[in-house]
Amino acid sequence: MDYKKLIELAEAARENAYAPYSSFRVGAALLCRSGNVFTGCNVENLSFGATICAERCAVTKAVSEGERDFLAIAIYAGEKFTSPCGICLQTLCEFAPDIDIILPDGEAEYRIYKLCELMPINSIPIK
């Protein structure tokens, strides 16, 4: 799948975000090796520990449908490049330590990182 299409799916998923506390809405689109794509958005809760990020929402949907082999994830948060938080990086690492992380800027530009570029190497499990 073209990464620009993956970004468009993440942008569309962002529309479903529930962010009444932070007003920071995020969408994600996760590409599986099978070709399936799972989207997610952040869902906040007054108990902030119960909040789920868009990336983990997409991963949870994929895993619950039997997918565990991920190639790329696009994360759309509007007009700024926004990296996944540490919990999301660790979750992605659990399944795909070599995943491409696509970060658009809300315009035409996007950056692609390998997970190891955003996460300390000693946090990546050896399999």
CA distance linking residue 110 with residue 80, whole number of Å: 10
Confirm whether 79 is a catalytic residue.
no
State the Cα torsion 114-117-122-127 to the nearest 10°.
Answer: 10
CA distance linking residue 24 with residue 85, whole number of Å: 13
Between helix 54-64 and helix 86-95 the angle, nearest 10°, is 30
Q: Which of 102, 112, 116, 119 is nearest to 27 (CA)?
A: 102
User: Could you say which of 55, 65, 79, 107 is catalytic?
Assistant: 55
Give the catalytic positions in this structure. 55
